[in-house]
Structure 1
Amino acid sequence: MSKLKYFLIAGLLRVAGSLSLATAQRLGRMVGWLLWKLPTQPRDVTATNLSICLPELTPAERAELLKASLASTGMTMFEVPLMWEWPVDKCLDLVKDTQGLELLDEAMADGSGLILLAPHLGNWELTGLFFSSRYKMAALYSPPNVPELEDYMIRVRGRLGSELVRGDRRGLAKLAALLREGGVAGILPDQSPRGAGNAFAPFFGMEVKTMTLVAKLMQRTGAKVLMTYTERLNNAEGFRLVVREAEPNLGSKDPVQASTAMNQSIEHCIRKIPAQYQWEYKRLRHRPPGEINPYNPDRVC
């Protein structure tokens, strides 16, 4: 059954990967409209996250953002097969504009390694391809829910030579070694961490479990850190790749201070293009013990 599931999913990815960007985004918007129109979990989670994280918006503004966010989620779903199946050059041609690339040259001028933090904002698969085409790079990843897809995912994401490493002791040792050599490490920083490497820090005003890995890597290797994301342009015109500075205390030895700085850095990016953030992810579910789970008010953490 597992092999059958793999061939079915891989086949669907290849079919979707044959689409044009305009067609993929059009289909994605249709899926997003269904997620918005029907009583779906992504709609409920997105609505909860927006009400907590962006309370300054009026109800009408949040309703509009909810719809736009689910449309963006649908487009991302259909863009991923393009990034995995299209030739690399064709993918890179979608980057029509860049901002802040000079920050990378400045950060690495003295031979330091660089940690690129890429939240689930815009098209993060294209972000990874862009930087792996320019630097010796490794990226932290979580294995897919379908184990048979792991080899496929590693192959397509690493076709420019970048290495994908798991978040275990061996994988983190590889990241540290690469950074000491002046390489680049890519990390998706807005996921709920597993294991003991975490601290509770505010994310849009709510205390949530946050990874401390980035600060530890900075302390161990002397690496610097920058934020990055790839913004979707209108009318299937392509994408804009953005690099931004992170908050200065991200490398602090105080885990709460470091985690707070990282969450603030992520927030600054999200507020630039809030409709393109992955709001349907339950980022706020791991709170300090005794606090209410915002997605299930009958339960405490």
Structure 2
Amino acid sequence: MSEPQSSTATLQGRAIATLWRSLAGRRPAMLWRLARLTGPLVHRFSRRERKVTEINLAEVFPERSAAARRRLARESLTHSTATMLELGFAWMGEPQRVEASIHEIHGRELLDDARAEGRGVIVLAPHFGNWEVLNFWLSSHFPFTAMYEPPKIAELDTVIRRGRERMGASLVPTNPRGVAALLKALKRSEAVGILPDQEPDWGSGVFAPFYHRLAYTATLLPKLVARTDARVVTGVARRLPGRGFAIHFLAADERVYAADETQSATGVNACVENAIALDPAQYQWEYKRYRKVIEQQQGHPKHKSFRLY
């Protein structure tokens, strides 16, 4: 049985939800201006996010100067701040206004062609730009299913779930029942979304290169592909600062279709790298992508009994 949420967490959740509601009617241009004002404060006072971002950038862009990486870190945290400020807009803003904020769609034919062939589509959606705007667009235009894990702050669960489901998305749990739901959706020639850049629990992934360094990567994708003959695409909502968003669908690295799980995971990470190349500042670099490699090197990986597959 989970422990009851503390009163502090409850108050924190209510404050965050109130902020999102208050910003839901603001335009992306105004939210970007607000992010430009508050982003430097996040960079200065959020020591953990700044440190992890700078470490990750040093790992993936060693050829860049230290000054260039520091600039990129500041830009990245400003974009992360913008994403947080835009969540109310994506989840609670008038649908017509959210749709109107999407000025460009690139690569839609990848989804349309797959569905015309009777194939499902697996959308790899890395933490780039505003992935909630991507969810809004996908669930507005296609039957769409995605996995959902309740947030640590329980007070936000209803807000997030309603926001993600409001245009018709179907949310399924991150367990075997959820995997079964994804398989059924793909066999109906529908679209499903997968976050390709989160480290899975021990036993649910393999080590595969991400920017030439090993990262523990989920193996859900090859299992879905093998059982459904689905097409894989990468999808992101790139921010157009001061204007809105551009949706990009990119053809997947062919290695994602490999039967070998390490090869497939290598292809998944290459897909994430290709998306990041659109604008490296818009990727969420404050996530500890190489954490499990460090745990393994230290000789005490935190094995868990739960397996997603």
Aligned to 2:123: 116
CA distance in 2, matches of 1:238, 1:268: 21
TM normalised by structure 1 equals 0.92
Of residues 92, 101, 107 in structure 1, which corresponds to 2:108?
Answer: 101
Counterpart contact for 1:113–1:182, Cα < 8 Å: yes
Distance 2:249 2:53 in 1: 26
Q: Which runs of 5+ in 1 are unaligned?
A: 293-298
CA deviations 1:31-77 (Å, max 9, x no partner) are 21012234611111110000001112122221221111111111111
Deviation at 1:187, TM superposition (A): 1.2
Aligned residues with identical type, % of pairs = 36
Partner in structure 2 of residue 203 of structure 1: 210
Separation (CA, whole Å) in 1 of partners of 2:178 and 2:279: 32
* Alignment counterpart, residue 80 of structure 1, candidates 84, 87, 105: 87
Deviations 1:140-166 (Å, cap 9, x if unpaired)? 122111123222211111111110112
The one-letter amino acid paired with 2:99 is L
| Aligned match of 1:296 | none
2-structure distance, mates of 1:191, 1:45: 15
Contact 1:216-1:251 within 8 A present in 2 as well: no
- Work out the CA distance in 1 between the residues paired with 2:248 and 2:168: 22
Q: Determine the structure 1 residue equivalent to 2:266.
A: 260
Deviations 1:82-132 (A, max 9, x none): 111101121111110111111212222211111011110011100011011
Following superposition, the deviation at residue 26 of structure 1 comes to 1.8
Q: Which moved more, 1:7-16 or 1:223-232?
A: 7-16
User: Does the aligned pair in 1 maintain the 2:129–2:283 contact within 8 Å?
Assistant: yes
Quick check: 1:245 aligned with 2:251?
yes
2:180 aligns to what SS in structure 1? helix
1:195 deviates by 4.8
Q: Cα deviations across residues 201-234 of structure 1 (Å, max 9, x unaligned)?
A: 1111111110000111111111111001111113
Contact 2:91 2:162 in 1 (8 A): no
1:151 is aligned to 2:158: yes
Match of 2:289 among 283, 293, 297: 283
Q: Secondary structure at the match of 1:133?
A: helix
1:175–1:52: structure 2 CA closer, same or farther, 3 Å change rule?
A: same
Q: Contact 2:10 / 2:154 at 8 angstroms: preserved in 1?
A: no
Shift in Å, 1:277: 0.3
1:138 aligns with 2:142: no
Q: Which runs of no fewer than 5 residues in structure 2 stay unpaired?
A: 1-6, 302-309
